[in-house]
A and B are shown apart, each in its own frame.
Chain A
Amino acid sequence: MNSPPDVPALAELQARFAAALGADLARSDDHSAALAGCIVDDGLAPEARVQVYRNNVRATFEGALARTYPVLRRRVGVAHFASLVEDYRRDHPSRSGDLHWTGRHFPEWMASRMTGTDYAWLADLAGLEWACEEALLAVRSPPASADGLARLAPEALANTTLGLQPGLRLVGSAFPVWSVWQANQPDSAGDAVDPSLGAQYVAVVPGDDGLVLHSLPVERFDFVRQLAAGRTLEQALDASRLPVELLGEALAWLFGSGLVTQVGAPPQDGAGRVQAGIGARGPT
């Protein structure tokens, strides 16, 4: 081979390549030109060849977020979603070889941009979709039978805790995000949702055939959130607004949805047993 004009060491070469692929497009144009100097010029412009990688990286990142946030993408439109993702990548570039994690900061990032605007609900919608992502990939434990609860002496019932599915996610929003989510599934028409529907409290429940999203009465949502934090039945009732006469209905829903995995006594040290991975967002 002929002696090349520019033979940087591997570290320098990768640094130039990385700079050309970076999310800051204004700067990466310059870096792309610097990388082009390290590329064999056989008649097809080196910059055009570098552009293939830049397009691939951008499309892969956007594709990962599109898979995680399909409802939000549908609501804002493909072009605006792409623009949002480009801005998001500048603040939160991929930090993993596993694409799954690229969208984990998107809800908080959306909140930082949308809070105080007419589009604040989009951040909560993103939070709901990330909750779906987490719920879908969580391990599923065998459901417990309600018989275990029925066998307990009445005096033991108050001090009983319920272990819940690790994949359960609870998302509360001041906006009707559950209705938006329902209206924008692939087989739905995507009709506009009346904002006056107000706050909604959603339980994301993983099942054999995918996810089921329940819109819960706020009292039941609070009660489940307390249970998920390891509170006893009595503590959960006290801390939530669930009327005692609705306790049976709430428990029937929990067991009927396969969400209870363990019926047990409270921890000996009296501390609340907080389940790892329960991402509960309270009513706002």
Chain B
Amino acid sequence: MARKEITKVQELIYTTRVETVMAPDVIVAHPAMSLADAKNLMRDRRISGMPVVVDGRVVGIVSMSDVIRALESGRMATRVDENMTADVTCVTVDAYVVEVVGKLGREGFGRIPVVDREGHLVGIVTTGTVMQSLLQAMDTSYKKKEEENLHRYRASHIFEDVVSDDTSLVLRFVVDDRDFTNAGTASSQIKRSLQRLGVPPALVRRVAVAVYEAEMNLVIHSDVGGEIVVDVRRERMLISAVDHGPGIENIGQVLQPGYSTAPQWIRDMGFGAGMGLANIKRCSDLMRLLSEPGVGTRLDILFLFRDNPIGVSSKSGETT
């Protein structure tokens, strides 16, 4: 468990940018300030050091150790720029956290100013800000799991809480034509909703595969996009993928495994092998394809929950 957290931290420091672990509101000193004023500022703001800035650019760093040295030699009335460290190491906002971890840890820097590409000060990182962000990131992944448990608890009782002779839950999704970046989001949401409703994992997988194939068909072939409607009842579920696109000339042909009209660029992405409808049929309990050239296409896919009706939690056995 401890090792897992360490690898998680390692991944985070290699993939997170400085921007997300820095404190953006930096308290700064001016070169002409007296060291006594700098000391008061640090005391009031409870910090142990700050960048010295002229016109947004870092010209040095003044810290508590500079103050202590000045106290010992009675130089508290002298200017900040006479006492500061002038040779400052900065990092850019888009650097990876691993870079500052090395400097804070191995090289013993107390704080590192963060600058943009033009060299203007935009933030500061300290061991504290880095630790806080990493802890937050780890806490977020824990919270996500807790939230998911809550969603599942609430959704799985919906069919018990809502009373009727036959309750049906209808989910509608709009699928855009040629929108490859978002292709699959409807299927992803359907999958998650079914998991939350308490549908057994093996059945969720079958539904997910079928609906994803149907969604990709809308993206690739419909020309105008379409709609996916999921009608969930306790014992069965009907998914319809509907579009008002060009329609299909020869239904018998498209039902043959391996037949495809997908263009090359679709094939280059690993799709369009002509196995979509075959996959849908294999996964579902019943599939029906209706189409008329110039009018549109409708694909109905039926799943029966058989021994695992929704909301009956005692039966959690898987059907395949």
Is B one of A's binding partners? Answer: no
Residues of B within 8 A of A (CB): none
**Chain A residues engaging chain B, CB cutoff 8 angstroms:** none
